[in-house]
Amino acid sequence: MDIELSQSRVHGRARAPPSKSYTHRAILAAGYSAGALVYNPLNSADTQATMRAVEAFGGDVDRDTDEDVLDVTGFDGRPGVPANVIDCANSGTTMRLVTACAGLADGISILTGDSSLRSRPQGPLLDALDALGGRAESTRGNGQAPLAIKGPISGGSVSIPGDVSSQYITALLMAGAVTEEGIDVNLETELKSAPYVDITLEVLDAFGVEAEQTDDGFSVPGGQSYEPTDGEYHVPGDFSSMSYLLAAGAVAADEGKELVVAGAQPSAQGDSAIVDVLERMGADIDWNREDGYITVQKSDLSGVEVDVGDTPDLLPTIATLGAVASSDTRIVNCEHVRYKETDRVSAMAQELTEMGATVTEEQDVLTVHGDESSLEGAAVDGRGDHRIVMSLAVAGLVADGTTTIAGGEHVDVSFPDFFDVLYDLGADVRHVQ
Q: What is the 3-state secondary structure (H, E, C) of the chain?
A: CEEEEECCCECEEEECCECHHHHHHHHHHHHHCCEEEEECCCCCHHHHHHHHHHHHCCCEEEEECCCCEEEEECCCCCCCCCCCCEECCCCHHHHHHHHHHHCCCCCEEEEECCCCHHHCCCHHHHHHHHHCCCEEEECCCCCCCCEEEECCCCCEEEEECCCCCCHHHHHHHHHHCCCCCCEEEEECCCCCCHHHHHHHHHHHHHCCCCCEECCCEEEECCCCCCCCHHHEEECCECHHHHHHHHHHHHHHECCCCCEEEECCCCCCCHHHHHHHHHHHCCCEEEEECCCCEEEEECCCCCCCEEECCCCHHHHHHHHHHHHHCCCEEEEECCHHHHHCCCCHHHHHHHHHHHCCCCEEECCCEEEEEHHHCCCECCEEECCCCHHHHHHHHHHHHHCECEEEEECHHHHHHCCCCHHHHHHHCCCEEEEEC
Cα torsion 264, 268, 270, 275 to 10°: value is: 30
167 is in an annotated binding site: yes
- Residue 101 and residue 126 in contact, taking contact as beta carbons nearer than 8 Å: no
21 marked as part of a ligand binding site: yes
Q: How many C-beta atoms lie closer than 10 Å to residue 300's C-beta?
A: 12
Binding site annotation covers 340? yes
Q: Is 92 annotated as a binding residue?
A: yes
Check: CB of residue 208 under 8 Å from CB of residue 30: no
CA distance 373 to 327: 9
20 assigned ligand-binding residue:
yes
Q: Is 118 annotated as a binding residue?
A: no
Q: Label residue 67 exposed, middle or buried (CB < 10 Å: 0-12, 13-18, 19+).
A: exposed
166 in a labelled binding site: yes
**Is residue 165 a known part of a binding site?**
yes
Say whether 350 counts as a known binding-site residue: no
Q: Which amino acid is at 414?
A: S
Q: Which residues are catalytic?
A: 313
Is 383 marked as binding a ligand? no
Q: Report cis status (omega within 30 of 0) of the bond before 416.
A: no
222 among annotated binding-site residues: no
Angle ∠(255,324,365) on CA atoms, nearest 5: 150
Q: Indicate the annotated binding residues for 3-phosphoshikimate.
A: 20-21, 25, 165-167, 193, 313, 340
Q: Indicate the annotated binding residues.
A: 20-21, 25, 92, 120, 165-167, 193, 313, 340, 344, 387
Q: Indicate the annotated binding residues for phosphoenolpyruvate.
A: 20, 92, 120, 167, 344, 387
